Amino acid sequence: MEFKHVSVLLTETIENLNIKPDGIYMDGTLGGGGHAYEVCKQLSENGRFFGIDQDDAAIAAATERLKEFEEKVTIIRSNYCNAKEALLEKGVSKVDGIVLDLGVSSYQLDTIERGFSYKYDTDLDMRMDRRATLSAKNIVNEYSERELYRIIRDYGEDQFAKNIAKHIVRYRADKPIETTGELNEIIKAAIPAKMRAKTGHPSKRTFQAIRIECNHELDVLKDSLDDMIEMLNPGGRLCIITFHSLEDRIVKSAFKKNENPCTCPPEFPVCVCGKVSKGKVITRKPILPSEEELAYNSRSKSAKLRVFERK
């Protein structure tokens, strides 16, 4: 299957990167190379681009897509949380811009055997990096009812989290849950019919929650943001696209903390904590998709772009 993914907020992201032709840029979630292609187009022969992704299918697709720029492009298979070390190995400690487009790609959702989507009946998997040992199957069969309830409540923000967790545990007592189809039916049974009619597909939130847990998405984000800001040259920008309220909250709070890290009590006349601002938040409010983009790409609906500029 061809790696198809419509890059969300593409124009807005590229504009906000303030690309310098001779600069060094990094995309920590390379995917099919949509944002990368637009960045590379603006680089001179002295510019450099680093693309990081943990998905082997994304690496293959982006390598093909960026072929015409191969002199200036380096692609690394890894998680973006390892970006600092990965670039240092290539002799690079600072960059002029970073893009992170979080969440799951259209390709991953539509490749049936990856098990990301509730629309197809296939093996429960959901690993973005297929070398990882933890899969969705492990989570639904091995996590306690309490743990399942926590991730469905926190990452799926589902009001029926308690009931869904209870139904999963009850079902697996007889046999392991093997497929997305089985999980779908369990979730459906846990949600009252009149609510199912109102709130879209009953499995959407639980599948999202299990995927986030499976790939440690929020922990990786939280642990990487300070490093990313540290990697920027003065005037360099970090552009992050989120699709989930918890992701957006993490980004917003990290940007705010890096803009104003002072921990002195407000009544102190001068700062004595010694913590210095790393830069400024460019987007006081997140940039949202245009009406036009929403019309042709429904998956952009929950996207938000936030931008930070290094001092």
Whole-angstrom distance, CA of residue 124 vs CA of residue 279: 43
Task: Say which amino acid occupies 118.
Answer: Y
Mean pLDDT on 86-111 = 92
C-alpha closest to that of 205 among 246, 170, 169: 246
Token pair belonging to 282: 């460019």
Number of H helices, E strands in the chain: 14, 7
What pLDDT sits at residue 110? 84
- pLDDT for 11: 96
DSSP annotation of 308 reads E
Mean pLDDT across the chain, nearest whole number? 95
pLDDT of residue 200: 80
Query: Residue 109 pLDDT > 90, yes or no?
Result: no
pLDDT (0 to 100) of residue 4: 55
Q: Of 304, 301, 300, give the one whose Cα is nearest residue 7.
A: 300
- Alpha carbon distance 19, 37 (integer Å): 13
- The mean pLDDT of 15-22, rounded to a whole number, is 98
Would you call 72 exposed, middle or buried from its count of C-beta atoms within 10 A (0-12, 13-18, 19+)? Answer: middle
The letter for the amino acid at 192 is: P
List Cβ neighbours of 195 (8 Å cut-off, separation of 6 or more).
160
Q: What is the CA radius of gyration of the chain?
A: 21
Q: So what's the pLDDT on residue 125?
A: 97
Mean local confidence (pLDDT), 284-310: 95
Q: Calculate what percentage of the chain has a pLDDT beyond 70.
A: 98
Q: What are the pLDDT digits (tens) for 196-254? A: 877 788 999 999 999 999 999 999 999 999 999 999 999 999 999 999 999 999 999 99
pLDDT tens by residue, 144-178:
999 999 999 999 999 999 999 999 999 999 999 99
Residues 128, 78: contact at Cβ < 8 Å?
no
The full set of domains in the chain, from first to last, is: 10-105+217-310 (3.40.50.150), 133-214 (1.10.150.170)
pLDDT score recorded for residue 3? 53
Residue 142 has pLDDT above 90, yes or no: yes
Q: What value does the mean pLDDT take over residues 94-111?
A: 90
24, β-bridge pairs:
48
Q: How confident is the model at residue 5, as a pLDDT? A: 59
- Cα angle for residues 145, 114, 69 (degrees, 5° grid): 130
pLDDT-based confidence at 60, cuts 50/70/90?
very high
User: 87: which 2 tokens?
Assistant: 């670039």
CB 140 within 8 A of CB 210: yes
Report pLDDT for 65.
95
Mean pLDDT of the 70-95 span: 98
For helices 217-231 and 204-214, what crossing angle results, to 10°?
60
Environment class of 70 (CB within 10 Å of its CB; exposed 0-12, middle 13-18, buried 19+):
exposed
In this structure, of 102-106, 137-141, 177-181, 268-272, the range with the lowest mean pLDDT score is 102-106
Tell me if 48 sits within 8 A of 69, measured CB to CB: no
How large is the average pLDDT for residues 62-75? Answer: 97
pLDDT of residue 284 exceeding 60: yes
How many CB atoms within 10 Å of residue 299? 17
